[in-house]
Amino acid sequence: MNIIVCLKQVPDTNEVRIDPVRGTLIRDGVPSIINPDDKNALEEALKIKEENEDIKVTVLSMGPPQADMALREALAMGADEAILLSDRAFSGSDTWATSKALATAIDHIGNYSIILCGRQAIDGDTAQVGPQIAEHLGIPQITYVEELEIIGDKVVAKRAIEDGYYVIEGKMPILLTAIKELNEPRYPSIRGVYKAHEGNRVKNWSAQDIKADLSNLGLKGSPTQVNKSFTPPGRSGEGEILSGSPKEKAGQLVLKLKGKYLI
Amino acid sequence: MEEKTKNLKAGAVNVDEYRGVWIFAEQRQGQLLNVALELLGEGRKIANTLGLPLTAILLGHEVDEIADKLIKYGVDKVYYGDHKLLDIYNTDGYTKAICDLINREKPEIMLIGATTIGRDLGPRISSRIHTGLTADCTKLDIDMDNRRLMQTRPAFGGNLMATIICPNHRPQMATVRPGVMEKSKYDKNRAGKIIKFTPELEEKDIRTKVLEIVKGTKAQVQLEDAKVIVSGGRGLGSPEGFKLIESLADKFNAVVGASRATVDAGWIEQGHQVGQTGKTVRPSLYIACGISGAIQHLAGMQESKVIVAINKDPDAPIFKIADYGIVGDLYEVIPEFMEALDGIDV
Amino acid sequence: MDFNLTKEQQMIRRIMRDFTEKEVKPIAADIDKTEEFPRKTVEKMSSHDMMGISIPIEYGGAGGDEVAYAIAVEEISRACGATGVILSAHTSLACWPIWKYGTEEQKQRYLVPLAKGTYLGAYGLTEPGAGTDAAGQQTTAVLNGDKYILNGTKIFITNGGQSDIYIIFAMTDRSKGTRGISAFIVEKDSPGFSIGKIEEKMGIRASSTAELIFQDCIVPRENLLGKEGEGFKIAMTTLDGGRIGIAAQALGIASGALDETIKYVKEREQFGRPLSKFQGLQWIIADMATEIEAARLLVYKAAYNKTNNLPYGKEAAMAKLFASQCAMDVTTKCLQLFGGYGYTKDYPMERMMRDAKITEIYEGTSQVQQMVISAAVLK
């Protein structure tokens, strides 16, 4: 059985800073990481591989040449194969064009049973690429997966909703999106790091390699455009710092809130 | 006209053929979600700006009373698709029913609540229709000069806002973050049109099967609707700190909120999380205890009417946006605060 | 000439940093207080090949190089000096001498489980009367048939009481002086071997520092490491490598302290502006950053030499001398920048400063490093 895991290399948003004047990201010195939800997706694939026989886990990423690092990290975690979809033709893609490119690549790989994606990437937070890939491929999907069981050619998943979960059954081939509750991703092993760097473990594919229709790619293939970006306007409160002993401060606060008819 | 149709973009359409503002009225087990009312509120403003009717899409089985309710909440027209196979949400059935309707009626705008279900459905539809979709919007505007929906959303963990447009594809689709838009008002005298139909669906169209629905495994945390929220952060020091937060919340009949740090640390369930990756709230009173005020937290609560901050660190950024700040140990301040509250009639 | 880390080394740094942030940092203050040995952390490190990074794959290690190993110790020590020394003592002082001097049988029996982290290792040289003057060994080993009988006491043994395997030095022939010292692989359950006093320390409190007592302790003859009389050479060459580990630990403590401080001075405001805007403080930060970078270059250079079979004794001594002074200097200044908060246990500075001090003392005091360096320079 073949499992394909889609993963994205993202800047660690905890470290991201914004140029306050231009309203753009300062990417210099921000570490790149495997998107966290995607790591959960990979971990699940690796767990399935450990618990079943004859499973091949292929990791697929679309991104600049540097995304090679994310794929090697995935190999160090235990993935069998890695493919980097990298081409200038892909740059500027929105979620529609991204999902189209990934779906085309997945078709090109062929013969898959499960596609695992993270729910959403921390740079964009859209949660759209997974379901859009499923639609392009014409296969069913279960999103927000927090527990997964493989039974023959079926999957049974606990799919999180706001106040509980649905238990959903689906037949392979199927696309699943993982949330962090699904598992605890392993660290790559140090030995795995060295193995991941042996020879040419990451395949590089261009748009031409996957026979992609150029009109569906990049900026040109993207229905949406960023009109502008800016830093969120800050709120400024009255900023009154109450003073005195804890008791006095508490007393003042009660008076203030009373004054605002909040008590 | 000719300019607009002559387009290089794949899947581009003649945008002038598309008219009307649609919202997806999500219901679960016969209960209309609050976010649907928020979409009605926002949709109404957009429809008025464009001078178009507001239409709701309702899917389910035997949920006629919801269709009526939607009218009373201000929608002009309801497409109500009633089908046994739509009783419980499923990706395939809902996608097909809505896509068929979009292809036939050609709406200009389609809004969906960014719930866990809306975010399953929206991308599937946009992918099939070949149009753009903007995720988790917190602000919507119309640019009348170009007749475009300006869709604003946070990105990079709330560090950046981006306004997205979808110039050549229709409908312009957005999922809208729950709790952000103002709900429409109920008016029992409102009238509108309910168009009930039976979507063309067969068993084999539905490829995933819901075996069970389990609710209440996560405490129902109604943060979005709360008038008062008392939130705890890393400054609590330990999970036990939330007991103190709860007792303070009880005094106000408030809901307990939490920062991402405490949720990540496993001190409290995710449902309580306020912020960019949690819920967006706008209560009358927000009391932040031991929360430093990372941008990702502020993104979810700065619309609160009055913000009170209690924190040991005088330099915590939360004080910059607070109306009232108390610098001090929350374990000393909160008990005093509760005692002072007891002294008056709440 | 190439100052860049390899891709493997860069990835190992990221993994170690991630591991440290999630597994080491959250408990560092707590285990410092309770002196609890971080057994679970060691197990997690083992399952990711972190306990034998520089040991070849065929002997249970990760097949990595000494720079990668130094990076691992550095990264762990950024958050917890105690966990850093556990890794360092285990890898440099227990795994390495078996790999270098052990028989194939000894390697299979002891090195494989050590490098996999199934066993923890320690090194016993220091005695109450033989610290800096390591040649003054009082512990004796007498061959009796197919076993050696060990008698004596070792003190200040890192990982003592927690380890499964000990590399122990003892006199087999006092008349030959240092050439009469031999090395032995001693299992923790050997008859006549017991753990004495566990030290309560100023810093690296979660690491175990124990007294080892040998009373007619029986060690099989095949557990002699190297040849009889080779012990002192084994001890000294092992320490040469160990110093790279301790220098990396010191480097980690210093760089962890500086990073915490940089965060702090950017946030903390006095007189209406962040501390980082005061030029006097900027100068201190600049000096510290420079010192740390210099220490890093010395540490990596020594590790590089060791990997590439170049002489590294002097280089390791220089790295340790400089990095340990750097750790002490930087943590002291960082604590100063934290002011009163730095002196409290609410912030990690006081712990880092306590942890830093030992790096100037163990595996050869700074004065010993100066002896090693001057001997090499003045020869």
Domains B13-205 and B228-341 share a fold: yes
Helix (H) or strand (E) holding C313: helix C313-338
pLDDT of residue B6 exceeding 80: no
What pLDDT does A140 receive? 98
Does some domain include residue A95?
Answer: yes
Which of B31, B92, B120, B218 is the best substitution to test chain A (most A C-beta atoms within 10 A)? B120
Under an 8 A CB cutoff, do C62 and A189 touch? yes
Under an 8 A CB cutoff, do B135 and A166 touch? no
pLDDT of residue C331 exceeding 70: yes
- At B109-149, the pLDDT tens digits run 999 999 999 999 999 999 999 999 999 999 999 999 999 99
What pLDDT does A24 receive? 67
pLDDT of residue B1 exceeding 50: no
Same domain for C12 and C111, yes or no, is: yes
Chain A's closest residue to C49, CA to CA, is A190
Under an 8 A CB cutoff, do A188 and C49 touch? no
Q: What is the mean pLDDT of residues C109-118?
A: 98
Under an 8 A CB cutoff, do A254 and B11 touch? no
Minimum distance, in Å, between the CA of residue B105 and any CA atom of chain A = 20
Residue C286: CATH number of its domain = 1.20.140.10
Which among C183, C186, C193 has a CA at the least distance from the CA of C151? Answer: C193
Which among A112, A118, A114 has a CA at the least distance from the CA of A154? Answer: A114
Chain A's closest residue to B307, CA to CA, is A237
Does some domain include residue C237?
Answer: yes
The three-class DSSP label of residue A143 is: strand
- At C272-285, the pLDDT tens digits run 788 999 999 999 99
CA distance A44 to B97: 32
Averaging pLDDT over each range in B7-21, B210-224, C187-201, which range is the top one? C187-201
CA distance A88 to A99: 16
Minimum distance, in Å, between the CA of residue A108 and any CA atom of chain C = 29
pLDDT, averaged across chain B? 91
pLDDT of residue C169 exceeding 90: yes
Does some domain include residue A117?
Answer: yes
Minimum distance, in Å, between the CA of residue B298 and any CA atom of chain A = 9
Under an 8 A CB cutoff, do A131 and B337 touch? no
Under an 8 A CB cutoff, do C12 and A193 touch? yes
Contact A79, A46 (CB under 8 A): yes
Under an 8 A CB cutoff, do B160 and A230 touch? yes
Chain A's closest residue to B91, CA to CA, is A141
Note the ipTM here: 0.90
Chains in contact with A, where contact means 3 or more Cβ–Cβ distances below 8 Å, are: B, C
Angle, vertex CA B22, rays to CA B16 and CA B23, nearest 5? 155
Minimum distance, in Å, between the CA of residue B337 and any CA atom of chain A = 4
Same domain for C23 and C65, yes or no, is: yes
What pLDDT does B5 receive? 42
Q: Which of chain A's residues have a Cβ under 8 Å away from the Cβ of C47?
A: 189
Q: Which of chain C's residues have a Cβ under 8 Å away from the Cβ of B315?
A: 267-269
Provide the residue count of chain B: 346
The residues of chain A scoring below 50 in pLDDT are none
Give the pLDDT band of residue C7 (cuts 50, 70, 90).
very high
What class is the B13-205 domain? alpha beta
Same domain for C145 and C219, yes or no, is: yes
Q: Which of chain A's residues have a Cβ under 8 Å away from the Cβ of C68?
A: 190
Q: Which of chain A's residues have a Cβ under 8 Å away from the Cβ of B134?
A: 224
Number of domains chain A contains: 1
* Chain B contacts in chain A segment 76-115 (CB below 8 A): 94-96, 99
Give the pLDDT band of residue B295 (cuts 50, 70, 90).
confident
Q: Which of chain B's residues have a Cβ under 8 Å away from the Cβ of C269?
A: 315
Chain C's closest residue to B312, CA to CA, is C346
Q: Domain residues of chain B, as ranges?
A: 13-205, 228-341
Same domain for C354 and C241, yes or no, is: yes
Q: Which of chain C's residues have a Cβ under 8 Å away from the Cβ of A190?
A: 12, 15, 48-50, 53, 62, 64, 68, 72
CA distance B222 to B288: 17
- At B252-270, the pLDDT tens digits run 889 999 998 898 888 998 8
Does some domain include residue A47?
Answer: yes
Residue A65: CATH number of its domain = 3.40.50.620
Range of the domain at C132: 122-229
pLDDT of residue C207 exceeding 60: yes
Chain B's closest residue to C341, CA to CA, is B313
Cβ-proximal residues to B309 (8 Å cutoff; 6+ apart), any chain: B287, B288, B291, B293, B316, B318, B319, B322, B324, B325, B326
pLDDT of residue B314 exceeding 60: yes
What pLDDT does A214 receive? 92
Chains in contact with B, where contact means 3 or more Cβ–Cβ distances below 8 Å, are: A, C
Does some domain include residue A224?
Answer: no
pLDDT of residue B4 exceeding 50: no
Task: Judge whether B266 is closer than 8 Å to chain C, CB to CB.
Answer: no
Task: Judge whether C269 is closer than 8 Å to chain B, CB to CB.
Answer: yes
Buried b (16+ CB within 10 A) or exposed e, C235-268: bbbbbbbbbbbbbbbbbbbbbbbbebbbebbeeb
Cβ-proximal residues to C353 (8 Å cutoff; 6+ apart), any chain: C203, C257, C328, C331, C332, C334, C335
Under an 8 A CB cutoff, do A125 and B136 touch? yes
Residue with tokens 């005088």: B314
Number of domains chain C contains: 3
What pLDDT does B346 receive? 45
Same domain for C22 and C149, yes or no, is: no
Does some domain include residue A42?
Answer: yes
Residue where a domain stops, chosen among C199, C229, C259: C229
Same domain for C270 and C152, yes or no, is: no
Does some domain include residue C308?
Answer: yes
Choose the closest CB to A76 out of C11, C18, C72: C11
Question: What whole-number percentage of chain A has pLDDT above 90?
Answer: 75
Max CA separation in chain A (angstroms): 73
Task: Judge whether A31 is closer than 8 Å to chain C, CB to CB.
Answer: yes
Task: Judge whether C267 is closer than 8 Å to chain A, CB to CB.
Answer: no
CA distance C367 to C239: 15
Same domain for C279 and C346, yes or no, is: yes
Q: Which of chain A's residues have a Cβ under 8 Å away from the Cβ of B329?
A: 246
Does some domain include residue C2?
Answer: no
Same domain for C100 and C45, yes or no, is: yes
Q: What is the mean pLDDT of residues C208-232?
A: 98
Range of the domain at A143: 2-216
Same domain for C42 and C137, yes or no, is: no
Task: Judge whether C263 is closer than 8 Å to chain A, CB to CB.
Answer: no
Choose the closest CB to C49 out of A31, A73, A190: A190
Residue where a domain stops, chosen among C229, C259, C287: C229
Task: Judge whether B145 is closer than 8 Å to chain C, CB to CB.
Answer: no
Under an 8 A CB cutoff, do A190 and C53 touch? yes
Which of A180, A194, A197 is the best substitution to test chain C (most C C-beta atoms within 10 A)? A194
Minimum distance, in Å, between the CA of residue B210 and any CA atom of chain A = 4
What pLDDT does A200 receive? 87
Beta bridge partners of C127: C130
CA distance B46 to A25: 31
Task: Judge whether C135 is closer than 8 Å to chain A, CB to CB.
Answer: no
pLDDT of residue B217 exceeding 70: no
Q: Which of chain C's residues have a Cβ under 8 Å away from the Cβ of A197?
A: 7-8, 11
Residue where a domain stops, chosen among C176, C196, C229: C229
CATH entry, B228-341, from 3.40.50.1220, 3.30.70.330, 3.40.50.720, 3.40.309.10 = 3.40.50.1220
User: What DSSP string runs through B152-164?
Assistant: EEEEGGGTEEEEE
DSSP state, residue B279: B
Does some domain include residue A164?
Answer: yes
Does some domain include residue A234?
Answer: no
CA distance B222 to B244: 19
Contact C158, C198 (CB under 8 A): no
* Chain A contacts in chain C segment 44-103 (CB below 8 A): 47-50, 53, 57, 61-64, 68, 72
* C-alpha dihedral, C24 to C26 to C30 to C36, nearest 10°: -30
Residue B189, classified by CB atoms within 10 Å of its CB into exposed (0-12), middle (13-18) or buried (19+), is exposed
Active site residues per annotation of C:
363
Same domain for C98 and C133, yes or no, is: no
Same domain for C214 and C338, yes or no, is: no
pLDDT of residue B2 exceeding 50: no
Chain B's closest residue to C268, CA to CA, is B315
What pLDDT does B276 receive? 78
* Chain B contacts in chain A segment 196-225 (CB below 8 A): 213, 215-216, 220-225
